[in-house]
Structure 1
Amino acid sequence: MSVVGIDLGAQTTKIGVARNKGIDIITNEVSNRQTPSLVGFTRRSRHLGEAAKGGEISNLKNTVGSLKRLIGRSFNDPDVAIEQEYNTSTLVDVDGQAGVEVNYLGKKEKFTATQLVAAYLTKIKDITAKELRLPVSDVTVSVPAWFTDVQRRAMIDAGDIAGVNILRLINDTTATALGWGITKLDLPTAEEKPRRVMFVDIGYSDYTASIVEFRKGELNVKATAYDRHFGGRNFDKALTEHLAVEFKEKFKVDITTNPKAWARTLVAAEKLKKVLSANPQAPLNIESLMDDVDVRAMMKRDELEEMVKPLLDRLTVPIEQALSEAKLKAEDIDSIEMVGGCTRVPAIKDTLSKYFGKNLSFTLNQDEAIARGCAFSCATLSPVFRVRDFAVHDIVNYPIDFTWEQSPEIPDEDTSLTVFSRGNVMPSTKILTFYRKQPFDLEARYSKPETMPGKVNPWIGRFSVKNVQANAENDFMICKLKARLNLHGILNVESGYYVEDMEVEEPVEEEKKEGDAMDTDSKDEQPKKTRKVKKQVRKGDLPIASATGGFDQAIKEAWTERENSMYMEDKLVAETDEKKNELEASIYELRDKIDGVYSEFASDEEKDKLRAKLTDTEDWLYEDGEDTTKSIYVAKMDDIRFIAGPIIQRYKEKAEAERDAVRKAEEEAAAKKRAELEAKKQAEDAAKKAEEDSKPEGDAEMQDAPAEESADKQ
C-alpha cells in the first residue's frame, strides 16, 4: 500500500511519498521533481503534465491551466474572468460550472474543471505508480485555505473520477506546518508556553499567512489570512506588459495582437524574474518573436520592483489580519517560515524582514514543503506506516449558519444559528436539538458572503429530516441532529435520532467505611442504593435526505466512464506512437547494418530484397502511414522481420558460436592454469617431503646432549 501526498499547485504539482523511513519527492517521466499542472487536447489524444507543457505554445487554444482555481466555480464567478486572463483556452459555461471548450479528436468538446482535475490526477497517479511499482489508491491532496465547501466537494469528486481515494484535503499552510513540526523533537510540553510560528506561503497565484502554535505532539492553527490574487504570475504579467510596450517602441512589434508571441514573452519574463532574484540586472533575448523579428532587452531589479510596487504595498495585509485574529503582535511570533517560489524575490524578503524586525527562516524546501507535509498527513492516516503521533487542529475560515422554518407551535422560536464560527477547531461535531411534531428541513449557508472568494454561492446544503411525528401524548418529538465539519472541511448533517425524557434508576456510589475491605464473612448481600434521575434516552433514528453542492451520483458515474474511455484512448495512442517509432528506428538500423555487420550473412539477392522493402516501408511511413493504427505498424514490422529474420538469425548463430568458442577457450585456459597450479603445488609438496626425509637421524639426540652432559657433571 502506498502513502502519497500531492501538492496540486496552480502552476506545477509536486508528489511526496513515504519510503526509506522518510519522505521522498519523486520525479516524473522526464526526471523533473515538479510536473506542470496543465491539460492539453489534440486531434488524436490528450496531453497531460509535461506533454501538455511541451506542446503549449503550438496548441494554446487547447491547453488549460489554472485547474485548481477553476474547480468548484460557477462560470459567472468574477474570479473565472480573472483566470481567463491567465488562460489561452476559452473558458465557458458547462451546465452552470466553469469549464473549457477545446478541439478534441477533431471536434469541439466541453469539459468542466472537475473533469480536467480528474484527468490530471490520473497522470499524477500513473507517475507515482510507475515510480513506486505499486498501485496508488490512498492520497492526501493540498488545497488553499480559502477553498469553500463546494470547491472541496468538487476536489473529492475529481479524485473519485480519477480512481484515487482522497484520505484528506489539507490546507496548504497546515500541510507545511505538519511537515515542519512532526520532525521537531524539542517542542514545548503542554504545561509550557507554545512555540508560535508564522508560515508565509507565496506561490504562483496566491498568498497565505498562517499562525500556528506547536506543542509536543500537536499543532493548533490560530489564524489564517490570504490574498487570493498575489503571486508569481502577477510579477510575470507586470513584466510582460512592460516588455510589450518596449518591444512596440524599439522593434515595432505588438505582441498583444499575437497570442503565441505573448506566451513566449511570458515564459521569458518568468525566467528573467528568477534571474533578477539573484542578480541586480539581467538580459532578455527572444529570437524570431514575431514577424521574424528578434527582440532583446536589459532589465534591472529596481525597475521590476517599481513595476510591482502596488503588489508589494499589499504584502503585509494578510500578516496583519492573521495577527489581529490570533490576538498577537509581531514580537509574539518566534519564527517566520517562508515557503513558495515567490518568497525568493528580494523585495518580498526585505519587506517582511523589516516588518517583523528579525531574520526570516528558510529551513524548509520552498517548493516541496507542502508535498512533504501532505505525505506525512497521509502516513498518519494509513494503517501500514508507523508515524510519530501528531495531532493537527485546523480552523474554520468561514462561519456557517443553519436556518430552518419556524415551528407553528413555537411562535417565538429562533430560526437561525451560527453553528461553526470562524476560528472554530476543525474537524468538529455539533449536536443540534429541535422540538417538532412533523418532518422539517434546515439549510446550511455561509453567514458572511462578503468574505467569500469571488462570488461563490453561500448556500452549502439542504437537509430534510424524515419520520418526525408527535408522540402518544401529542407532544413534541425531541430531535437530535449531528452536524459535522470533517477532515476535508466539508459540512454534512451525518445522522439524526430522537430521544425521550425518561426517569431511570442509576446506582449511587456509597462511601466505603474504614475496614469495609476486610468484611468478607457476611454471606448476605446488601441491596445497592439507587436513585431516580431524568435523562434523555435515545429511542430511534431519523432518516435524513441531503442536497449539497456535490455532483449527482449519475453525473459522476458518467464522467468516470468518460474519463476511463479517454484514458484508454490516450494509452492506445501512446502505444501506437511507440510502434511507429519502433518501425522507423528499425528501418534506419537495418539499412545501416545490411551493409555492415549483417553483410556477410546475406546474399546479394537477400540484400536487394531487404533494401527494397525498407525503402517501400519508409515511403509509406512518411506518406500514407503518418497516422494510422497500431495493428498496421505491427504488420509492417512483421513484414520486415520476415525478410530480415533469417539474416539476423545467421548473424546471431555466428555470434553465439564465437561466444561459445571464446567461452570454451577461456574455460580451457582456466583448466590449464588450474592444472599448472596443482602440478606446482604437488612438486612443492614432494620437495618439502624429500627435504624432511633427508635430515640425519642423530639430529634429535644431539639436541639433548648438553642436558646429559650437565647431568654427568653433577
Structure 2
Amino acid sequence: MSVVGVDLGALNTVIAVARNRGVDVITNEVSNRATPTLVGYGPKSRYIGETAKNQEVSNLKNTVASFTRLAGRSLNDPDVLIEKDYCSASLVDIDGQVGAEVTYMGNKEKFTATQIVSTFLTKVKQTASAELKLPVSDVVLSVPVWFTDSQRRALLDAAEIAGLKCLRLINDTTATALGWGITKTDLPPPEEKPRRIVFVDIGHSNYTASIVEFKKGELAVKATAWDRHFGGRNIDKALVDHFAKEFKEKFKIDINENAKGRFRVLVGVEKLKKILSANSQAPLNIESVMNDVDVRSMLKREELEELIKPMLDRATVPIEQALAEAKLKIEDIDAIEMIGGSTRVPALKTAIQNFFGKPLSFTLNQDEAVARGCAFSCAILSPVFRVRDFSVHDQVNYPIEFTWEKSEDIPDEDTSLIVFNKGNVMPSTKILTFYRKHPFDLEAKYAKPDTLPGKTNPWIGRFSVKGVKEDAKGDFMICKLKARLNVHGVLNVESGYYVEETEVEEPIPEPPKEEGKEGDAMDVDSKDKDDKPKTRKVKKQQRKGDLPLSAGTAALDQAQKDKAAERENQMIMEDKLVADTEHMKNELESFIYELKDKIIGVYAEFANDDEKAKLNAKLETVEDWLYDDGDDASKAQYVSKMEEVRSVAGPIIQRYNDKIEEERQRVLKKQQEAHAAKQAEIERKKREEEAKKQAEAPPETKDTEMSDADAVKPDEVEEPAA
C-alpha cells in the first residue's frame, strides 16, 4: 500500500511518498519535481499539469487556474472576483457553486471547481502510481489554514470523486512543522520549557505565519495568522501593470486589450522576478508580444521594491498578529523557519529579519517542505508504516456556535452556544445536552462571520434529531449529542443518544487521617467487623438508546458524488483513447519512414523490382493520407493502414528475418562447436597431466609377512660338501 502526501498549491503541486525509511519527492512524466496546478480542456481531450502548461498560451479561455482557491465558494464572493484576475477561463455559477465554462470536445460545458480539483487529483494519482508501480489510495492533502468548512468539504468530495481516500486535510504550516519536528532528536522533555518556532510560509498567493511549540514527541500550534492576498502572483501583477504602462508609452501597444499579449508579459516578468532575487538588475525581452511588436526593457531591484512597497509595508503584519494571539514576545521565539517561493525575495527577507532582529533559518526545502510533512502525516495515519510517535495538536481558527429553537417547556432556555472557541485544540469532541419531549433541529455556524474569507456564508450545517419523546412520567428525555471537529477541520454531529437518571448508592469516601496522630492504629484495630461503610444516594445517567440523526451540510450527497465520479471516469477513458490514438498515429508514421529507409538499405537484396515498386507506392499513398485526411483519424483507421502496409512489406521483412535467423543459427552453431572443442581440449590436457603425474611417481614397495615356520634358522643351514 502506498503512503502519499500532496502539497496542493495554487501554482504548483508537489507529491511526496514515504518509502526507504524516509520521504522522497517524486517526479512527474517530464521529470519535474513540481507539477503545474492547471487543467485545460481541448477539442479532443483534457490537458492536465504539464500538458496544460504547454498549451496555456494557445488555449487561455479553456485553461483553469486557481481552482483550489475556488472550490467550495460562490460566484458573488469578493475573493472569487479577485481570482478572475488570475484565471483566464470564464467563471460561472453552477447551482450556487463557482465553476468554469469551457469549450470541451467542441461543446460548451460547465464544470464546478470541485470537479476540476478532482480532475487534477486523478493526475496526481496517476503520477504517484507510475512512480511507485502500485495503486494509490491513501493520501494527505494540504490546505491553507484559513479554509472554511465548506472549502474543506469540497476538497474531501473532490478526493472521493478521484478515487482517493483522504486520511487528513492538514494545514500548510502544520504539515511543515510536523516535517521539521519529527526528525529532531533533541527536543525538550514534557516537563521543560517548549521550543518555540515561527513558520513563515509565503507562496504564490498566500502568506501564513504560525507559532508552534515543540516537546519530545509532540507539537502544538499556539497561534496562526494569514494574509490571503499576499504572494508571488501579487508581485507579478505589479510588474505586469508597470510594463503595460511603459509599453503603451514606448511601443504604442496596450497589452491589457490582448489576453495572449498580457500572458506573454506575465511569463516574462516571472523570469525577471527570479533573476532580480540574485542580481541588482535584469532585462525583459519578448518577441512578438502582440501585433508583431517586439518589446524590451530593463528593471532594477530598487525599482521592483518601490513597485511592491504596499506589500512590503504589511510584510510583518501576520507575524505580529500571531505573536499577539499566542501572548508571546519576540525574545520568546527560538527560531524563524522560512518556506515558500516568495521568501526568496530579498526585500521580504530583510523586512522579516529586521522585525525579529535575528537571522532567519532556511533549513527546510522551501518548495517541498509542505509535501514532506503531508507524507509524514500520511505515514503516521496509515497502518502500513511504523513511525516514531509524534502527536499533532492543531487549533480552531474560527469560533463555531450551535443554535436551536427554544423549547416551549423551557421558556428561559438559551438558544445558542459557542461550542468550539478560537484557539481550542483540534481535533476535539464536545457532548451537548438537551432536555426535550419532541424531535428538534439545531444549526451550526461560524460565530464571527466578519473574520471569514470574503463574504463566505457562515452556515455550516443543519442537524435533525429524531426519535425524541417524553418518558412514561411525561418528563423530558435527556438527549446527548456528540459534536466533533475532526482531523480535517470539518464539523459533524456524529451521534446522538438518550440517557436516564437513576439513583444509586455509593460509599462515602473517608477523610484522610493525619499522619503521626496518636491512636490511629488503635482506631483501626478496634473497628467492628460488622460495621458497614457509610453510603449516599446519588443520581447517575445511564445510556438507554440511540437517537437517529440526519444532517444537511455543504458536502455533496452520495448521488452527486457518484454522478461526478462517473463523468470523471468517462473523461479519463476519452483522454486514454486520444492518447492511444496519438500513439498509434506516431507508430504508423515511424513505420513508414523506417520502411522507406530500409527498402533501399538492408531490405534491398530481399525484394525484386516489382515488390520494391509496389511497397514504395503503398508507402506514398499511406503517407499522403496520413498528412491529409488521416491527420485526424480514429485509432482503428491507423491500425487498418498499418495492416495494409504490413501486408505488402511482410514477405520482404520475413525474408530478411529468415536470413538474419539463419546467420544467427550459423553463428550459434560455430559458438557451440568452438565451445565443444575447447571442452575437449581441456579434457585432453587434464588426462595428460594425470598420466604425467603417475609416470613421475616412485615405485611402490610392499611389506611381506613371513611366519615363524618359514623363517630359516642359522643352525639348520647345511654346510656344503667339501
Q: Are 1:445 and 2:445 an aligned pair?
A: yes
- Partner SS, residue 32 of structure 1: coil
Of 566, 575, 579, which residue of structure 2 is paired with 1:574?
A: 579
Tell me how far apart the structure 2 counterparts of residues 364 and 656 of structure 1 sit (CA, whole Å). Answer: 59
Match of 1:638, as an amino acid? E
C-alpha deviation, 1:647, in angstroms:
1.5
Match of 2:24, as an amino acid? D
Query: Which residue matches 1:83?
Result: 83
Tell me how far apart the structure 1 counterparts of residues 410 and 495 of structure 2 sit (CA, whole Å). Answer: 24
Tell me how far apart the structure 1 counterparts of residues 170 and 21 of structure 2 sit (CA, whole Å). Answer: 22
Q: Are 1:538 and 2:547 an aligned pair?
A: no
Q: Are 1:15 and 2:19 an aligned pair?
A: no
Tell me how far apart the structure 1 counterparts of residues 686 and 279 of structure 2 sit (CA, whole Å). Answer: 74
Query: Which residue matches 2:151?
Result: 151
Query: Which residue matches 1:111?
Result: 111
C-alpha deviation, 1:208, in angstroms:
0.5
Query: Which residue matches 1:657?
Result: 662
- Partner SS, residue 414 of structure 1: coil
Tell me how far apart the structure 1 counterparts of residues 274 and 155 of structure 2 sit (CA, whole Å). Answer: 31
Match of 1:441, as an amino acid? D
1:508/1:413 CA distance change after superposition, 3 Å: closer
Tell me how far apart the structure 2 counterparts of residues 649 and 31 of structure 1 sit (CA, whole Å). Answer: 39
Q: How does 1:22-171 map to 2 (within 5 A)?
A: 22-171=22-171
C-alpha deviation, 1:631, in angstroms:
1.1
Match of 1:94, as an amino acid? I
C-alpha deviation, 1:674, in angstroms:
4.1
Q: Are 1:223 and 2:228 an aligned pair?
A: no
Match of 2:559, as an amino acid? A
C-alpha deviation, 1:553, in angstroms:
2.3
Query: Which residue matches 2:327?
Result: 327
Tell me how far apart the structure 2 counterparts of residues 668 and 209 of structure 1 sit (CA, whole Å). Answer: 78
Q: How does 1:458-477 map to 2 (within 5 A)?
A: 458-477=458-477
Query: Which residue matches 1:563?
Result: 568
C-alpha deviation, 1:685, in angstroms:
5.2
Query: Which residue matches 1:710?
Result: none
Match of 1:636, as an amino acid? K
Match of 2:550, as an amino acid? A
Match of 1:641, as an amino acid? R
Query: Which residue matches 1:632?
Result: 637
- Partner SS, residue 84 of structure 2: helix
Query: Which residue matches 1:251?
Result: 251
1:605/1:226 CA distance change after superposition, 3 Å: same
C-alpha deviation, 1:248, in angstroms:
2.2
Give CA deviations for 1:598-638 in whole Å, capped at 9, x if unaligned: 11112221111111111111111111111121111111111
Q: Are 1:283 and 2:283 an aligned pair?
A: yes
- Partner SS, residue 364 of structure 1: coil
Q: Which runs of 5+ in 1 are unaligned?
A: 515-523, 696-714
Tell me how far apart the structure 1 counterparts of residues 370 and 7 of structure 2 sit (CA, whole Å). Answer: 6
Give CA deviations for 1:392-430 in whole Å, capped at 9, x if unaligned: 100000000111111112121111111000000000000
Q: Are 1:548 and 2:553 an aligned pair?
A: yes
Tell me how far apart the structure 1 counterparts of residues 699 and 303 of structure 2 sit (CA, whole Å). Answer: 102
Query: Which residue matches 1:388?
Result: 388
Query: Which residue matches 2:304?
Result: 304
Tell me how far apart the structure 1 counterparts of residues 530 and 111 of structure 2 sit (CA, whole Å). Answer: 77
TM-score, length of structure 2 as denominator length: 0.92
C-alpha deviation, 1:300, in angstroms:
1.4
- Partner SS, residue 370 of structure 2: helix
1:615/1:527 CA distance change after superposition, 3 Å: farther
Q: Are 1:482 and 2:482 an aligned pair?
A: yes
Tell me how far apart the structure 1 counterparts of residues 174 and 251 of structure 2 sit (CA, whole Å). Answer: 48
Give CA deviations for 1:59-94 in whole Å, capped at 9, x if unaligned: 000000001110001011011110000111111111
Query: Which residue matches 2:620?
Result: 615
- Partner SS, residue 433 of structure 2: strand
Q: Which runs of 5+ in 2 are unaligned?
A: 513-519, 522-528, 701-722
C-alpha deviation, 1:528, in angstroms:
9.2
C-alpha deviation, 1:253, in angstroms:
2.3
Between the two proteins, what is the percent identity of the paired residues? 69
Q: Are 1:205 and 2:205 an aligned pair?
A: yes
Query: Which residue matches 1:454?
Result: 454
Match of 1:617, as an amino acid? V
Q: Are 1:592 and 2:629 an aligned pair?
A: no
Give CA deviations for 1:661-686 in whole Å, capped at 9, x if unaligned: 22333333344344444544555555
Match of 1:186, as an amino acid? D
Give CA deviations for 1:475-499 in whole Å, capped at 9, x if unaligned: 1111111110001000011111111
Match of 2:44, as an amino acid? R
Tell me how far apart the structure 1 counterparts of residues 338 and 143 of structure 2 sit (CA, whole Å). Answer: 18
C-alpha deviation, 1:453, in angstroms:
0.5
Q: Are 1:412 and 2:390 an aligned pair?
A: no
Tell me how far apart the structure 2 counterparts of residues 265 and 673 of structure 1 sit (CA, whole Å). Answer: 74
Query: Which residue matches 1:428?
Result: 428
Match of 1:463, as an amino acid? F
C-alpha deviation, 1:334, in angstroms:
0.5
Query: Which residue matches 1:646?
Result: 651
Tell me how far apart the structure 2 counterparts of residues 529 and 91 of structure 1 sit (CA, whole Å). Answer: 74
Match of 1:10, as an amino acid? A
Match of 2:93, as an amino acid? D
C-alpha deviation, 1:508, in angstroms:
7.4
Tell me how far apart the structure 1 counterparts of residues 609 and 504 of structure 2 sit (CA, whole Å). Answer: 106
Tell me how far apart the structure 1 counterparts of residues 77 and 482 of structure 2 sit (CA, whole Å). Answer: 32
- Partner SS, residue 197 of structure 2: strand
Give CA deviations for 1:164-188 in whole Å, capped at 9, x if unaligned: 1111100000011111111111111
Tell me how far apart the structure 2 counterparts of residues 681 and 507 of structure 1 sit (CA, whole Å). Answer: 100
C-alpha deviation, 1:33, in angstroms:
0.7
Query: Which residue matches 2:717?
Result: none
Tell me how far apart the structure 1 counterparts of residues 695 and 211 of structure 2 sit (CA, whole Å). Answer: 92
Match of 2:204, as an amino acid? Y
Tell me how far apart the structure 2 counterparts of residues 671 and 234 of structure 1 sit (CA, whole Å). Answer: 78
Match of 2:610, as an amino acid? E
- Partner SS, residue 648 of structure 2: helix
Give CA deviations for 1:177-202 in whole Å, capped at 9, x if unaligned: 11111111111110111011111001
- Partner SS, residue 57 of structure 1: coil
- Partner SS, residue 640 of structure 2: helix
C-alpha deviation, 1:286, in angstroms:
1.4
- Greater mean deviation of Cα atoms: 433-442 or 135-144: 433-442
Match of 1:561, as an amino acid? E
Match of 2:627, as an amino acid? Y
Tell me how far apart the structure 2 counterparts of residues 161 and 530 of structure 1 sit (CA, whole Å). Answer: 60
Please say which structure displays the higher CA radius of gyration.
2
Match of 1:85, as an amino acid? D
Q: Are 1:292 and 2:297 an aligned pair?
A: no
Tell me how far apart the structure 1 counterparts of residues 16 and 52 of structure 2 sit (CA, whole Å). Answer: 22
Tell me how far apart the structure 2 counterparts of residues 553 and 684 of structure 1 sit (CA, whole Å). Answer: 86
Give CA deviations for 1:561-592 in whole Å, capped at 9, x if unaligned: 11111111111111111111111111111111
Tell me how far apart the structure 1 counterparts of residues 666 and 507 of structure 2 sit (CA, whole Å). Answer: 96
Query: Which residue matches 1:348?
Result: 348
Query: Which residue matches 2:502?
Result: 502
C-alpha deviation, 1:658, in angstroms:
1.9
- Greater mean deviation of Cα atoms: 192-201 or 661-670: 661-670
Match of 1:256, as an amino acid? N
Tell me how far apart the structure 2 counterparts of residues 554 and 670 of structure 1 sit (CA, whole Å). Answer: 72
Tell me how far apart the structure 2 counterparts of residues 650 and 379 of structure 1 sit (CA, whole Å). Answer: 58
Match of 1:632, as an amino acid? Q
C-alpha deviation, 1:505, in angstroms:
4.1
Query: Which residue matches 1:237?
Result: 237
Give CA deviations for 1:437-486 in whole Å, capped at 9, x if unaligned: 11111111101111100110001011111121221221111111111000
- Partner SS, residue 220 of structure 1: strand
C-alpha deviation, 1:691, in angstroms:
4.8
TM-score, length of structure 1 as denominator length: 0.93
